[in-house]
Homo-oligomer: A and B are copies of this chain.
Amino acid sequence: MLRNKLIQLILQRHSYLCVGLDTDVQKLPLHLRENKNGILLFNKAIIDATRDYCVSYKPNIAFYESLGSKGWDILGETLEYIGAEHFTIADAKRGDIGNTASMYARTFFETYSFDGITVAPYMGEDSVMPFLEYDNKWVILLALTSNRGAFDFQFTKNIQDEMLFETVIQKAQQWGTINNLMYVIGATKAQYIERVRELAPSHFLLIPGIGVQGGSLHDISLLGMNHDIGLLVNNTREIIYASNGEDFAIHAQKKAKGIQEEMSKYLQVRLL
């Protein structure tokens, strides 16, 4: 997807919401847990309920992979069901040497036609470049993640007093552009978003960690939004597991709509 199209979708729907599709069979409503197509039916119902309120969907690949080959079929059918009017993200966090990274790129950009993939930076340039060779496809590079373990390495200061996530953000700008590179910045680390915007004023940021993980939509919107909006904010569990009754889709829609309405306010302020 082109950057301009993504921005247009955001402005049309007054939303920069990304819905995570981390569908865990053990968390499905009971009537679907016993259905052999339960996961796909669940995903389709969530997509139908939320598509007007979000601009992106992000299946975390682990949840499909853990089902073996049938999980990959479900992933493919889910992706097809989403269609072309949402930015689709394979949350795969892949990262490997050049020839292997090319295979991963083939997986997520050809075998499955995602718009973007999350990539881990540890192995450096040649683990990232093969993904950037595709037109209109995106690398979404882990920079500052939302989890507690982020403190183990990402904040390590180098001898220029620069933290590892800062080095990652800067170095990656030699590899990709604002048209094919985003960064993952956890909402739980909102106090660093101003610094991220100094380093990457124009890039899109994918922001997980609001909701269950505790990040504030208000804070990250205030601090992270740029002249092109530049934000995709993910919510997974509060939406897809809003209820585990038969009415789960209605509750998912209500939650997604609530987030979209809050986003709409922040967009209005920004666009005044």
Binding site for B on A (CB under 8 A): 22, 24, 60, 62-63, 65-73, 76, 91, 93-98, 100-101, 103-104, 106-107, 110-112, 120-128, 142, 145-154, 156-159, 161, 164, 167-168, 171
Counting every copy of the chain, the complex holds 2
Tell me the smallest distance from the CB of A40 to a CB of chain B, in Å: 13
Most buried by B among A76, A103, A123, A128: A123
For A128, the closest partner residue in chain B by CB is B149
A148 touches B125 (CB 8 A): yes
Most buried by B among A62, A101, A106: A62
Given contacts A68-B76, A73-B69, is CB(A123)–CB(B96) below 8 Å?
no
Tell me the smallest distance from the CB of A43 to a CB of chain B, in Å: 16
A149 touches B120 (CB 8 A): no
Complex Cα spacing A71 to B128, Å = 23
B100 touches A60 (CB 8 A): yes
* Complex contacts, A122 vs chain B, CB 8 Å: 120-122, 142, 145, 153-154
* Complex contacts, A156 vs chain B, CB 8 Å: 156, 158, 164, 167
B151 touches A124 (CB 8 A): yes
Complex Cα spacing A158 to B153, Å = 10
Given contacts A69-B73, A111-B66, A122-B154, is CB(A98)–CB(B147) below 8 Å?
yes
Complex Cα spacing A153 to B163, Å = 11
Given contacts A111-B67, A157-B158, is CB(A96)–CB(B127) below 8 Å?
no
* Complex contacts, A126 vs chain B, CB 8 Å: 147-149
Tell me the smallest distance from the CB of A96 to a CB of chain B, in Å: 5
B125 touches A152 (CB 8 A): yes
* Complex contacts, A67 vs chain B, CB 8 Å: 111
Smallest CB-CB A-B distances: 7 pairs: A124-B149, A124-B152, A69-B69, A62-B103, A69-B72, A97-B147, A66-B107
* Complex contacts, A101 vs chain B, CB 8 Å: 62
A97 touches B145 (CB 8 A): yes
Q: Which of B24, B103, B110, B168 contacts A153 (CB 8 A)?
A: B168
Given contacts A95-B120, A124-B148, A147-B126, is CB(A65)–CB(B154) below 8 Å?
no
* Complex contacts, A120 vs chain B, CB 8 Å: 93, 95, 120, 122-123
